[in-house]
């Protein structure tokens, strides 16, 4: 027999003609996930394999000495439920209209295990040409208690003068990232190589980091959600979850490798708007507050009271991806 194994496998590929989710199917799955989780879990449809193995595939399995039994063919990736949420989130991702002279106001609100609320509000110039301003506040007894501290600070460098990274992106860095999924996946794999607990887990971490900035444009958010669909182990953590004032669907990656394992990286996504609402790492004891509820808006200017309290730090770029700063003297 001279026919090689690759020819058998290509001829017998049972997933060759399977299409991806249509928008209608994705929406139906999302509705079931966020609407009635118990019913969905009890009656979740399972993909059907084609009846029987072709002779070529059977021979190939015997040749390599491995028999794989599965109800789903094709490349590994996110579960069907997670894929449906991510497909819908990608389709709904949109940006509010914003002029170059306006500001993004990005607010992150979180409550730690001691009940202390921390609110960070960042003003970022839409055109990246003016220095950003960060307002940090803490409140006792959650947001219902009185404010206990407040600081307002900023750099003397604009975002366009700083090195952009996955953890601190600027407009130039975001524009440099590919929008097609294979190229974006390759970029993530390259940038995360040698970092984190596992290759797949670190891809999830980097995607979470950049989304938490609140600066990722809609087309890139859609591409990042598409990359998440390809990561093995991505699943629905809970059909519904509430962080602060917003409700979304938890998309989870369960990390099983590395010194910190096991833990779960969770993203709270609103599939109806394509927004990342919050994120967190849940340790093995299963207890962790959300890292911060993300909200974004466009404003014409930074409030006068914020500017009056502003402390400007003198900053400089260190190497290609670092920044050093010092407070003004006196």
Is residue 325 situated within a structural domain? no
β-sheet bridge partners, residue 325: 315
306, with CB counted inside 10 A (0-12, 13-18, 19+), is middle
Asked if 232 and 111 sit in the same domain, the reply is yes
Of 33, 55, 74, the one marking the end of a domain is: 74
132, with CB counted inside 10 A (0-12, 13-18, 19+), is buried
14: containing domain: 5-74
pLDDT digits (tens, 9 = 90+) for 65-122: 333 333 334 457 899 999 999 999 999 999 999 999 999 999 998 877 777 888 999 9
Asked if 121 and 55 sit in the same domain, the reply is no
Task: Report percent pLDDT > 90 for the chain.
Answer: 52
pLDDT at 53: 33
Asked if 59 and 119 sit in the same domain, the reply is no
Query: Do residues 246 and 277 touch, judged by C-beta distance below 8 A?
Result: yes
Asked if 59 and 175 sit in the same domain, the reply is no
Higher local confidence (pLDDT), 111 or 271: 271
Asked if 45 and 129 sit in the same domain, the reply is no
Phi and psi, residue 234, nearest 5°:
-70, 130
Asked if 33 and 131 sit in the same domain, the reply is no
Asked if 108 and 223 sit in the same domain, the reply is yes
Asked if 242 and 301 sit in the same domain, the reply is yes
User: Would the pLDDT of 316 be above 80?
Assistant: yes
pTM for the structure as a whole:
0.76
Is residue 264 situated within a structural domain? yes
pLDDT digits (tens, 9 = 90+) for 132-158: 999 999 988 666 668 889 999 999 999
User: Would the pLDDT of 242 be above 60?
Assistant: yes
User: Would the pLDDT of 41 be above 50?
Assistant: no
Average pLDDT over residues 312-326: 88
Asked if 114 and 167 sit in the same domain, the reply is yes
Specify the 3-state DSSP secondary structure of 206.
helix
> How many structural domains comprise the chain?
2
User: Would the pLDDT of 32 be above 60?
Assistant: no
Is residue 276 situated within a structural domain? yes
Is residue 45 situated within a structural domain? yes
Task: Report percent pLDDT > 70 for the chain.
Answer: 72
Phi and psi, residue 44, nearest 5°:
-60, 125
Asked if 302 and 206 sit in the same domain, the reply is yes
Asked if 154 and 303 sit in the same domain, the reply is yes
Is residue 322 situated within a structural domain? no
Asked if 24 and 139 sit in the same domain, the reply is no
Q: Give the tokens for residue 280.
A: 């967190």
266, with CB counted inside 10 A (0-12, 13-18, 19+), is buried
Is residue 91 situated within a structural domain? no
């Amino acid at each position: 027999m001279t026919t090689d194994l690759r020819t058998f496998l290509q001829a017998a590929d049972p997933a060759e003609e399977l299409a991806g989710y249509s928008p209608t199917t994705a929406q139906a799955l999302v509705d079931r996930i966020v609407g009635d989780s118990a019913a969905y879990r009890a009656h979740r449809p399972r993909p059907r394999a084609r009846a029987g193995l072709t002779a070529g595939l059977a021979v190939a399995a015997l040749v390599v000495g491995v028999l794989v039994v599965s109800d789903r063919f094709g490349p590994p990736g996110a579960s069907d439920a997670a894929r449906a949420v991510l497909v819908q989130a990608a389709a709904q991702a949109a940006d509010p209209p914003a002029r170059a002279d306006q500001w993004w106001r990005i607010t992150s609100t979180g409550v730690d295990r001691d009940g202390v609320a921390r609110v960070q509000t960042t003003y970022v110039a839409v055109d990246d040409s003016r220095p950003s301003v960060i307002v940090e506040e803490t409140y006792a007894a959650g947001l219902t208690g009185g404010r206990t501290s407040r600081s307002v600070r900023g750099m003397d460098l604009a975002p366009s003068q700083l090195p952009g990274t996955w953890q601190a992106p600027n407009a130039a860095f975001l524009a440099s990232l590919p929008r097609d999924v294979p190229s974006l996946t390759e970029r993530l794999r390259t940038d995360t190589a040698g970092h984190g607990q596992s290759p797949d887990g670190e891809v999830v971490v980097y995607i979470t980091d950049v989304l938490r900035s609140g600066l990722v444009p809609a087309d890139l958010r859609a591409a990042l959600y598409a990359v998440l669909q390809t990561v093995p182990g991505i699943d629905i953590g809970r059909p519904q979850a509430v962080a602060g004032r917003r409700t979304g669907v938890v998309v989870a990656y369960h990390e099983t490798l590395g010194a910190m394992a096991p833990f779960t990286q969770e993203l709270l996504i609103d599939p109806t708007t394509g927004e990342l609402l919050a994120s967190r790492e849940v340790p093995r004891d299963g207890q962790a507050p959300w890292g911060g509820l993300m909200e974004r808006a466009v404003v014409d200017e930074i409030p006068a009271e914020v500017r009056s309290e502003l402390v400007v730090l003198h900053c400089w770029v260190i190497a290609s991806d670092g920044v050093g700063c010092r407070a003004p003297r006196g």
